[in-house]
Amino acid sequence: MIAVSLLLLITILAIGIPVGASLVILALALAGIYSPFPLVKAIGETSWGASSDVIVVAVPMFILMGELMLRSGVAERMYDAMAKWFSWLPGGLMHSNIGACAMFAATSGSSAATAATISTVSLPQMKKHGYNVSLFTGSLAAGGTLGILIPPSINMVVYGVLTSTSIPQLYLAGFIPGFLLAALFMLTIMIACLIKPEWGGRRIEVSWAERFRCLPDLIPPLVLFLIVIGSIYAGWATPTEAASLGVVATLALAAINRRLNMRVLLLAFEGTMRSTAMIMLIFVGAFFLNFVLSAIGLSREITNLITALKLSPLETMIAIVIFYLVLGCFMETMAMMITTVPIIVPIIIAMGYDPVWFGIIIIILVEIAMITPPVGVNLYIVQGIRREGSLNQVTIGALPFVITLLVMIAVLIGFPDLAMWLPNMWKASL
């Protein structure tokens, strides 16, 4: 069953069928081959159950927040302020790429939206200041991945729904690893520019007076972050309600900046609908596939197979990391997450690991998949906005950050309290 399933999936994806449709076709094929019951009758109920969960409504809300921030000019002013504060570091604007991605991530919840937004405002500066193309574009692709680790995060919402894990706890678990990873990305850039100073471009001379004058441009993203995250932990709102509050606050900011008009709204709505439709098609297809896998007993067989290997918890974790590293090269990240998490998490819990902690590990593995070829979506986003040169330049520039992400996984395995300290503190206070 495992061999046939993998062969069918590879064949369907190789033909070029969209990922969401591929998952439904695979589910129907497996049901037809292995199930004595007509599982196809369950597709309607399964699809409705997957898409009607109120928590899932947070997904389009977070996407809309990011779209409105981009269209209203908030992101551009935020990047300019970051550029002035980080201009003194070796690597200059590349540190601004990471810092701006981290701050935008704290409001958007989407890796693709983060990479696209910051790339749009930063790439024009690359040639102007003589930066190394590969490292600069690689920093944008890698920085964009922070969009799903620093809360709020769409992928954490999906993981929480799939595993019945507390989303507020997942958000708390992502804080320290998220900002630590941003710091490690900046350290990677600094080391590279100290080894090769010419990669760091021409330094922008900025006075301290200019730096302090631009501080108000950093306030709007912080306000949005406090509204969304603060309302959740104050007990005033669920994640879905908090996302909706964030949209209202973003609309207010756009109005204050005099950028709220029909054109901005239409562009933001169109971008939101495109992204939401893609995610939900994958979401529904993967839920139906998971239903079929459970019904024909494949999920149970995979669990039994791994258990029979009698690996230690650490060996099991290393095997899972390798599995995701390989799978992430060939499968779209949301589909990879939705199809594998329901199978892997029970194994992880049986090994004694905390599902909240493992959620952060999964998110980092998804981040790696986003910047590894041939399917790494952030590589294509940055190259698509750049519109010149080759994709290989972006790919090569992202490789040092892949190593940094692997180091982050090793750190979390060795020191799990980095992720679990805030959730444990919050649970103790309840």
Contact 419, 177 (CB under 8 A): yes
pLDDT per position as a tens digit, 365-420: 999 998 988 778 888 888 888 878 888 888 899 999 999 999 999 999 999 999 99
Residue 143 to residue 340: CA distance in whole angstroms: 25
Task: Using the predicted structure, report yes or no on whether residue 118 has a pLDDT greater than 90.
Answer: no
What pLDDT score was predicted for residue 177? 94
The predicted model gives 177-205 an average pLDDT of 89
Task: Using the predicted structure, report yes or no on whether residue 9 has a pLDDT greater than 80.
Answer: no
Q: Which of 3-7, 256-260, 403-407 has the lowest mean pLDDT?
A: 3-7
Contact 332, 158 (CB under 8 A): no
Phi and psi, residue 354, nearest 5°: -80, 130
Task: Using the predicted structure, report yes or no on whether residue 187 has a pLDDT greater than 90.
Answer: yes
The predicted model gives 80-102 an average pLDDT of 85
Residue 160 to residue 36: CA distance in whole angstroms: 32
Give the range of the structural domain holding residue 381, as residue numbers without chain letter: 2-429
pLDDT per position as a tens digit, 326-348: 888 777 777 788 878 888 888 88
The domain tally of the chain equals: 1
Q: Which two tokens stand for residue 207?
A: 């006075």
Instruction: Calculate what percentage of the chain has a pLDDT beyond 90.
Output: 19
The predicted model gives 344-354 an average pLDDT of 88
CA-to-CA dists, residue 388 to 51, 94, 135, angstroms: 39, 19, 15
The predicted model gives 41-69 an average pLDDT of 76
Task: Using the predicted structure, report yes or no on whether residue 13 has a pLDDT greater than 70.
Answer: no
DSSP 109-178: --HHHHHHHHHHHHHHHHHHTT--HHHHHHHHHHHHGGGGTSSS-HHHHHHHHHHT--HHHHHHHHHHHH
Q: Which residue has the higher pLDDT, 284 or 348?
A: 348
Contact 146, 395 (CB under 8 A): no
